[in-house]
A and B are shown apart, each in its own frame.
Chain A
Amino acid sequence: MAGSLIKITETTVSSAVASVTLTGIDSTYDVYMVSLSNVIPATDDKNMIVQVTVGGTADSTSNYDHAYKQLRADTTFSNTSGSNGTSVLPVLSLGNVGGEGASGVFYLFNFANASEFSFATVETSFVDFQGNLKGMQGGFVNTVAQSCDGLKFTLESSTNFSTGSKFVLYGLNK
């Protein structure tokens, strides 16, 4: 239904930064959406790392399960999955040459509910450092019954996000 997507917060990187944290998730909405656009690493060939936040601080405990189908234009698709990780990687080997970068949409479920695990569905589309179109279709879960208030985005090897990288958190009106 048009008119039901409510912006909570956004960050557009204006000078290179090593992390972006979107917070503001609470019980106001049941479902939240995050959009990523024009996300570019300062250094070529970097994975993007995502963690949930609790009270604004990233949860780095070994409580992330994920499963993706990796779509790619250059060769056979692959499955990517794992349990009990300390984070999830929805973008792999991201490029930064020319117009390369990453985009995507996450839907977040149960994040504010302290009695439930926090779930996310993930759809990303990006061009890697070799110029190949790739994307992850799947999701992840943080297997801790805790109230999460957002997501933290970082890049492999503490690489910075380049200027123009944009991250937006929305609530879906109920």
Chain B
Amino acid sequence: MSVSLEFIKSASGSSVSSLSVTNCFSAEYDVYQLQVNYNNGSGNNNLSIRLLDSGGSQVSTSTYDLAGLDMNSWTSFSEVRSTGNTAFINTAQVADSNDNSIGNTYFFNPNLASYTFITNQQANVTSTDFRGRKMIQVEKSTTQATGLYLFTNNSGTANIKATVYGVK
């Protein structure tokens, strides 16, 4: 019996502001699952992700759009929308050393010369409060991506573990 969720690569860093996962995308898969464990942060850190092109360079053009719903335990839910971003933003969030964020993201066709879509779900504890997130994002440059660059949005540090699976 063949299995269809295949481990590709994992990377991690302690007290880092960025993390690269190189050569995780190829023509072998169309759909990928990225699992992120993000914790022990400093400052109010949202985690952003950029695609890496075939040369390993970050795709940092203003070609990323976002639509998401923040579901907050302590206040009303809020819609988040933005276009022309330079990364997939708000993919995880921590605020201090006690916080933890778990995120699950599907990437669709990152290695194809078409738009790259993602769907993302998160469970975050920020400053003792809970925030769930459901979001979609797209990168419109049609770059054939080979990897990921994860980074904190305010250069704060955190522990980051990223694991990529291929959905065969």
Q: Check A99–B114 contact: CB distance below 8 A.
A: yes
Q: Check A69–B69 contact: CB distance below 8 A.
A: yes
Q: Check A38–B108 contact: CB distance below 8 A.
A: yes
How far is B66's CA from A123's CA once the two chains are assembled, in angstroms? Answer: 15
Is the CB of B67 closer than 8 A to any CB of chain A?
yes
Is the CB of B82 closer than 8 A to any CB of chain A?
yes
**A103: chain B residues within 8 A (beta carbon):** 31, 106, 108-109, 117, 119
**B67: chain A residues within 8 A (beta carbon):** 71-73, 77, 133-135
Q: Shortest beta-carbon distance, A14 to chain B, in Å?
A: 15
Is the CB of B24 closer than 8 A to any CB of chain A?
no
> How many interface residues does B have (CB within 8 Å)?
38
Q: Check B113–A74 contact: CB distance below 8 A.
A: no
Q: Check A3–B142 contact: CB distance below 8 A.
A: no
Is the CB of A137 closer than 8 A to any CB of chain B?
yes
How far is B69's CA from A69's CA once the two chains are assembled, in angstroms? Answer: 9
Is the CB of B56 closer than 8 A to any CB of chain A?
no
**Other A-B pairs, 16, CB within 8 Å; known A5-B4, A103-B119, A135-B136:** A2-B3, A2-B5, A3-B3, A6-B4, A35-B167, A37-B108, A38-B30, A73-B66, A98-B114, A99-B113, A99-B114, A101-B115, A103-B31, A123-B106, A133-B65, A137-B69
Q: Check A37–B65 contact: CB distance below 8 A.
A: no
- Would you give the 0/1 interface string for B8-48, flagging 1 where the beta carbon is closer than 8 Å to chain A? 00000000000000000000001100000000000000000
Q: Check B109–A38 contact: CB distance below 8 A.
A: yes
CB interface residues, A 25-69, toward B, < 8 Å = 35, 37-38, 69
Asked, given contacts A37-B30, A37-B31, A135-B67, whether A125 binds B4 with beta carbons under 8 Å apart, the answer is: no
Is the CB of A100 closer than 8 A to any CB of chain B?
yes
**B2: chain A residues within 8 A (beta carbon):** 6-7
**A74: chain B residues within 8 A (beta carbon):** 81, 83
CB interface residues, B 59-79, toward A, < 8 Å = 65-69, 79
Residue of A nearest to B112 (CB): A38
**B7: chain A residues within 8 A (beta carbon):** 2
**A38: chain B residues within 8 A (beta carbon):** 30, 108-109, 112, 114
Residue of A nearest to B68 (CB): A71
Q: Shortest beta-carbon distance, B18 to chain A, in Å?
A: 25
Q: Which A residues contact B (CB, under 8 angstroms)?
A: 2-7, 35, 37-38, 69, 71-77, 98-105, 123-127, 133-135, 137, 166, 168, 170
**B117: chain A residues within 8 A (beta carbon):** 101-103, 125-126
Residue of A nearest to B79 (CB): A77
Q: Shortest beta-carbon distance, B146 to chain A, in Å?
A: 17
Q: Check B79–A76 contact: CB distance below 8 A.
A: yes
**A4: chain B residues within 8 A (beta carbon):** 3, 5
Q: Check B138–A133 contact: CB distance below 8 A.
A: yes
How far is B136's CA from A102's CA once the two chains are assembled, in angstroms? Answer: 12
**B135: chain A residues within 8 A (beta carbon):** 71
Asked, given contacts A71-B135, A73-B67, A137-B69, whether A7 binds B109 with beta carbons under 8 Å apart, the answer is: no
